[in-house]
Amino acid sequence: MPRATILWLAAFGCGGLPNPGSRQSAPTEASTATVRNALVIAADTLRRDRMSAYGAPRPTTPRFDARDPVRLHSAFATSNWTLPTTSSMLTGALPETAGVTLAANDPLDTTAALKVASAVPAFRDLGFRTALFSGNPGLWRVAGLEEGFETFELLYDLPTGNSKEIVDAALSWIDAGDANAPFFLWLQPFDVHFPYLPPAEVSGAFRDPATLPFDVTEQAQRTAIEADFANLDETGQAAIRSGLLDLYDEELLYLDQQVDRLLIALEERGLLSETVVVWTADHGELFDDGGTTFFFHGVSLRPGVNRIPMLVLDPAPDPWRGDGLFSGTDLLPTLFDRLALPPPSFPEGVVFGADPGRTRSYAFDAVGAGWGEAIPAGAAWTDGTHKVLVACETGDAVGYDLRTDPDELAGFDPNQRAETALLLTELAALLPSLHPEGCLP
């Protein structure tokens, strides 16, 4: 694969990318409709292309599909693991601006604090009830993420399939509060996060577990991935890969059932018709994508982990239509706009669709174990049709044409094409401001 050995980081110095800043679009007719509440389902580790809503051949999300959601097709996470991406979504800031990168937050034993304010207190100050229920207990490691939530509940001891408990907790919270107050409700179910252990209700839906090449236990799956996989031939690797995906899909099916249970409950309470519902993810998951032998997440910015679903149910859905880029930073700005609320300041997030020509998604591979194409940890930048990846330590860069190569298997020298050369220039201008001492910690 051709790669550009680049000197551009030095060449471009500390120039800054024009900051799109935060701004408000003029209220549209739809944004004045009587939508009062926002429900965000930020499923942890949900891979977009496993959802039938995004064309997966298996009916993994049949109940949500039946509600005919708006589908955003160019939605990107700002990183590849939970803490930076969730911080981006709640602050409208890139991970570095929010202060949540590997440098600030060793995934094993340290904590970070948000450097910018969460937008959630603005909901509270406008009279909203606010709650977060997360099946990923790790959110406590970012001080400030809890700001503005009247209830911030991290569910421990539920390794998988915990959307049932999350939905139960959410409904109890809804019923316990002032029915006249609008709400901002954030759910982060952990079902499809490793280990892939489908609950009994869906076990066998896509695969007889007796035919799997490993036991349905965390230890057996870990051994299959971390010990066995690299030593197997292509047939053996395919068997492990497909077995893991079968279980992953069954957990997604369960999540779809639980999301539907919540939506039915909102309907019964007369709330769904005045609620905008967003089903997205903090990031995806890898299953040896492109023959990389990468599994899990936090190790790459390949599309399996970097592209996220953005499915929206909205009584007046027009503001969500269009093919524009959507970054995790844009979620809260767009919800404030949709609910016709005065927004707080968002460092980098913009309202979806307000300025598609300048919207850019940025992602930083904070953990870094390579791109899978001999490109080590670094940063990614996309305009939705093209993408560039840059290795921070070496300066190597690679470009992709997402229109003809959505799986990013045919990388090329980004200086060879005008589109990727422009992205490279923009990224070179941006990185020094975010990483003044180099883009790796």
* Minimum gap (Å) between residue 10 Cβ and Zn ion: 34
**Residue reference for tokens 């194409």:** 373
CA distance 177 to 158: 26
Stretch 301-330: interaction string toward Zn ion, x if CB under 5 A:
------------------------------
Given the DSSP bridges, would you call strands 286-287 and 295-296 parallel, antiparallel or unpaired? antiparallel
Is 251 a residue that touches Zn ion (CB under 5 A)? Answer: no
Part of the chain binding Zn ion (CB under 5 A), chosen from 29-37, 247-255, 278-286, 430-438: 278-286
Stretch 16-55: interaction string toward Zn ion, x if CB under 5 A:
----------------------------x-----------
* Minimum gap (Å) between residue 325 Cβ and Zn ion: 21
Residues 214-233 that bind Zn ion (CB under 5 A): none
Q: What are phi and psi of 111, to 5 degrees?
A: -120, 160
Where helices occur in 49-131 by DSSP H, the ranges are 62-65, 82-91, 95-98, 120-125
CA distance 92 to 329: 4
* Minimum gap (Å) between residue 367 Cβ and Zn ion: 12
Please identify, using beta-carbon distances, which residue of 284 and 319 lies nearer to Zn ion.
284
Please identify, using beta-carbon distances, which residue of 37 and 82 lies nearer to Zn ion.
82
Please identify, using beta-carbon distances, which residue of 97 and 136 lies nearer to Zn ion.
136
Is 282 a residue that touches Zn ion (CB under 5 A)? Answer: yes
* Minimum gap (Å) between residue 45 Cβ and Zn ion: 5
What DSSP string describes 369-406?
A: ---SSS--SEEEEE-SSEEEEEETTT-EEEEEETTT-T
Q: Which residues contact 125 (CB under 8 A, 6 or more apart)?
A: none
Is 87 a residue that touches Zn ion (CB under 5 A)? Answer: no
Task: Look at the chain and count its residues.
Answer: 441
Is 105 a residue that touches Zn ion (CB under 5 A)? Answer: no
Burial 142-154 (b: 16+ CB within 10 A, else e): bebbbbbbbbbee
Part of the chain binding Zn ion (CB under 5 A), chosen from 117-125, 279-287, 300-308, 432-440: 279-287
Is 285 a residue that touches Zn ion (CB under 5 A)? Answer: no
39 SS3 class: strand
Part of the chain binding Zn ion (CB under 5 A), chosen from 199-207, 277-285, 307-315, 336-344: 277-285
* Minimum gap (Å) between residue 172 Cβ and Zn ion: 24
Is 82 a residue that touches Zn ion (CB under 5 A)? Answer: yes
**Residue reference for tokens 């309907």:** 267
Please identify, using beta-carbon distances, which residue of 77 and 332 lies nearer to Zn ion.
77
- By CB under 5 A, the count of residues binding Zn ion is 3
Cis peptide bond upstream of 195, omega within 30:
yes
* Minimum gap (Å) between residue 315 Cβ and Zn ion: 30
Please identify, using beta-carbon distances, which residue of 82 and 91 lies nearer to Zn ion.
82
DSSP secondary-structure letter at 330? G
Is 413 a residue that touches Zn ion (CB under 5 A)? Answer: no
* Minimum gap (Å) between residue 75 Cβ and Zn ion: 15
Burial 219-239 (b: 16+ CB within 10 A, else e): eebbebbeebbeeeeeeebeb
Part of the chain binding Zn ion (CB under 5 A), chosen from 11-19, 79-87, 311-319, 418-426: 79-87
Part of the chain binding Zn ion (CB under 5 A), chosen from 56-64, 155-163, 274-282, 347-355: 274-282
Q: Which residues contact 190 (CB under 8 A, 6 or more apart)?
A: 44, 45, 134, 135, 136, 155, 158, 159, 160, 162, 163
Contact residues toward Zn ion (CB under 5 A) are: 44, 82, 282
